[in-house]
Structure 1
């Protein structure tokens, strides 16, 4: 043994010894079980004092490469090879667990996984059935849309100008007057929320929301250190706002028309009252209006239509109506906000799909979109009546619900707290997928979000019957 640490290096002597001993084990010079020389002799040969050597040996023991018993010699650990193999591998799990964006709840991960299984009956899915999408019409429109090299390249930061002009015309029926300069095209409503979180809010901000909320099922705000504040009985008061704002920045998130997951809609008076309160205390508002077109009756004006101070950030999308695969939505807001969101978006993905933007512009401009909406609403209304009838047949004595007024969902509330992860898994084994209430409100055990928009009539009948059977079986095994 003629190696000694180099005292001219900036690396400490003990660290050099640790590296050298590791190499001896790794290269097979010190096989498993090798007994090290006595510390006095080893320190002398290395040209260091015993305390320096002891520091290195202690580190190697902590790493699992060396081992010894009290009062005995030091040996190369029998598990040292496994330790060295692990040291060579990047600990990606540590990277994953310490990353900014938090993992979805396990139930949501399972929902996302099994939604790809065509053998599963999807009773909670928040999207349209493939049979309700205008596939043939979209395909035909591809041949009618005029494309050129510039049009299908990168779009401007705010999105296709012609599309923004078409959106200006379209949202007038919501009572919203705007200009292309105040619109940013985004890749669906979810990206709009991500851009708002990244571009407008500080860490620790409070997001006021309904007690049952779509935001609880995603981590758009939570992953950036923001706090979701659920309103008791969905009531917002000036006192609550002021108390929170003394701590941190705050913003209100609302889906006033066909709320997700409850399916409820605010009256015009309730919308005006909420806006008046937020204006009085200068609380900014995100109005998520992606479902309004699916209301069976005539919708009331958007909250944004009352906005004269630029306080409301308005989100629209065609993902719930035309095609989720097009990934086209929009944000309407004051000019500085739009410029900020557009800048963040360009940093993230350099703009939404140019071809998708061209298609949506064509559908809005030619009136095809509104014609499709009327047909879609008629189809959804028939499905809603079917689901309502099925629930009356099976669940009238054990649950309550409101007959759907549009959209996709029925918010089923059981008289007893029976909606658990165990019930979710039992149903999954029977190839039925539900969206349990606890993904929309922590600890909720009484609700299921049921969707009539995706599964076929046969699947809805079969799925609801299985749900009924499993709940009855569940109650027999674990009576409340």
Structure 2
């Protein structure tokens, strides 16, 4: 005999609670969602929920979400169970902004046109070369355990040689291998900065979409920028020495794509040395130049160990390797290496061996040449589509490298509404608001990930959405 629909809903919810998938304190899906899932009227859902409330498993109040209050074991026991859901808000590390969480989740949806992703398309992944290198590394494997605290020595030597070509002299002992640039920022935030420090940075900036510094009690202070990036005259030190640090992306800035030129780099380094203002230079986009090689890093001009330099192969080769690096004075690197050992006891040995092989062979440079060629084509396709479809409604600058075009939508169109409409049309975009852009008129379009056809279709659909909103 077939169960009534309301009983199927009851059994479904009980199973979720019993397995711990819906923990005590967590909200259950809305009545509307449950009705849609089971293809029933909301009255059927209400009948099921009322029965579960009568059993003491759920609790709901008018106008508020229904939450799990018990499970089978807590109903049997005299004492109440731990409500882990309450603890979720008590942790030290702040959650991502809700919009960022939604974007992160949507970026795994293969049905969407991904104009948001800050990574290279699978079309540019060097699969055959990667297979060859992984095979070569595996043929040389012996048993492998934990690496040195600073990372595999062969990889650090390869990074040292790689940096030398880019103007940075760094011995392997002043390099720490990390699991991507984000871990680098996390280690710096917990290991080198005082609790109420101020992090000075461009506004807008990628860093605003993270809570890595805020979570350890620091405040972010935005600085003005133009087409060359950070404006030095806007730097205002609010705290005493030792409580200010500058975070900057001078090369193909995220999200604006700005490129700081030689003269301003010289002046910025001179200012920071004079004011004893330490610098974190995030340089993960450097190798993605399209027109001409960018000026040397700030770190190449650093004579006093004032700059902590962060690099990675995530943007150029594969985010899946989870390999990045920090370059700094040995005492600082030793401190961060100790913290990393406390955190994860070192990045994956296999990933480090593969990255070492890439960087120390000619494979990496050959791959970069192909990537730049592809990015040149992709940028042109995106810019041509913007010219044809979006020029009546928006303006933008032409990036000289990186993955992003920073698009200013004219004031009469609401970006928040545009983002929502785009999503309902299967297009994922990043609003400028998640990077602390104040006017609310900007979106970030990536030409790095979506296919050429998707880039054209996505931008055309954006224009149609705007046109229809007039």
TM-score, normalised via structure 1 length: 0.78
**Equivalents in 1 of 2:100, 2:451: separation in Å?**
23
Q: What is the CA distance between 1:88 and its match in structure 2?
A: 1.7
In the alignment, which of 235, 259, 272 is matched to residue 253 of structure 2?
Answer: 259
Give 2:125's aligned residue. 133
Cα 1:87–1:224 change in 2 (3 A) is farther
Aligned length: 392
Contact map agreement 1:159 1:352 (CA 8 A) in 2: yes
Matched residue of 1:259: which SS?
A: coil
Gap regions ≥5 residues in structure 2: 1-68
Q: What is the CA distance between 1:248 and its match in structure 2?
A: 6.8
Aligned counterparts, 1:321-336, within 5 A: 321-336=316-331
In the alignment, which of 313, 331, 340 is matched to residue 318 of structure 1?
Answer: 313
Give 1:446's aligned residue. 441
Aligned counterparts, 1:421-460, within 5 A: 421-441=416-436, 443-460=438-455
In the alignment, which of 374, 385, 388 is matched to residue 383 of structure 2?
Answer: 388
Give 1:37's aligned residue. none
Instruction: Please say if 1:148 is aligned against 2:144.
Output: no
Instruction: Please say if 1:249 is aligned against 2:238.
Output: no
Q: What is the CA distance between 1:143 and its match in structure 2?
A: 1.6
Aligned counterparts, 1:57-206, within 5 A: 88-145=80-137, 146-150=139-143, 152-206=144-198
**Equivalents in 2 of 1:99, 1:442: separation in Å?**
28
Cα 1:205–1:98 change in 2 (3 A) is same
Give 2:236's aligned residue. 240
Give 1:52's aligned residue. none
Instruction: Please say if 1:294 is aligned against 2:294.
Output: no
Q: What is the CA distance between 1:305 and its match in structure 2?
A: 0.7
**Equivalents in 2 of 1:294, 1:456: separation in Å?**
18
Give 1:284's aligned residue. 278
What are the superposed Cα offsets for residues 437-460 of structure 1, whole Å, 9 maximum, x if unpaired? 000015441111100000001111
**Equivalents in 2 of 1:263, 1:452: separation in Å?**
12
Matched residue of 2:173: which SS?
A: helix
In the alignment, which of 404, 407, 429 is matched to residue 402 of structure 2?
Answer: 407
Q: What is the CA distance between 1:203 and its match in structure 2?
A: 1.2
Q: Which range moved further: 416-425 or 390-399?
A: 416-425
Cα 1:447–1:239 change in 2 (3 A) is closer
**Equivalents in 1 of 2:119, 2:132: separation in Å?**
23
Q: What is the CA distance between 1:422 and its match in structure 2?
A: 3.1
Contact map agreement 2:390 2:459 (CA 8 A) in 1: no
Q: What is the CA distance between 1:91 and its match in structure 2?
A: 2.0
Give 1:303's aligned residue. 298
**Equivalents in 2 of 1:248, 1:432: separation in Å?**
44
**Equivalents in 2 of 1:439, 1:130: separation in Å?**
26
Matched residue of 2:311: which SS?
A: strand
Q: Which range moved further: 169-178 or 435-444?
A: 435-444
Give 2:55's aligned residue. none
Q: Which range moved further: 369-378 or 395-404?
A: 395-404
**Equivalents in 1 of 2:184, 2:202: separation in Å?**
19
Q: Which range moved further: 138-147 or 359-368?
A: 138-147
Give 2:268's aligned residue. 274
**Equivalents in 1 of 2:432, 2:70: separation in Å?**
48
Cα 1:378–1:260 change in 2 (3 A) is same
**Equivalents in 2 of 1:122, 1:397: separation in Å?**
23
What are the superposed Cα offsets for residues 202-251 of structure 1, whole Å, 9 maximum, x if unpaired? 2111100001100100111011111000013443449722xx12397110
What are the superposed Cα offsets for residues 395-450 of structure 1, whole Å, 9 maximum, x if unpaired? 21221111121111000012216344333222111111000000001544111110
**Equivalents in 1 of 2:287, 2:97: separation in Å?**
30
Contact map agreement 2:203 2:437 (CA 8 A) in 1: no
Aligned counterparts, 1:338-357, within 5 A: 338-357=333-352
Give 1:4's aligned residue. none
Contact map agreement 1:157 1:350 (CA 8 A) in 2: yes
Q: Following TM superposition, where does structure 1 have runs of at least 4 consecutive aligned residues deviating by more than 6 angstroms?
A: none
**Equivalents in 2 of 1:402, 1:442: separation in Å?**
16
Q: What value does the CA root-mean-square deviation take over the aligned residues?
A: 2.0
Give 1:337's aligned residue. 332
Q: What is the CA distance between 1:81 and its match in structure 2?
A: 9.7
**Equivalents in 1 of 2:211, 2:408: separation in Å?**
25
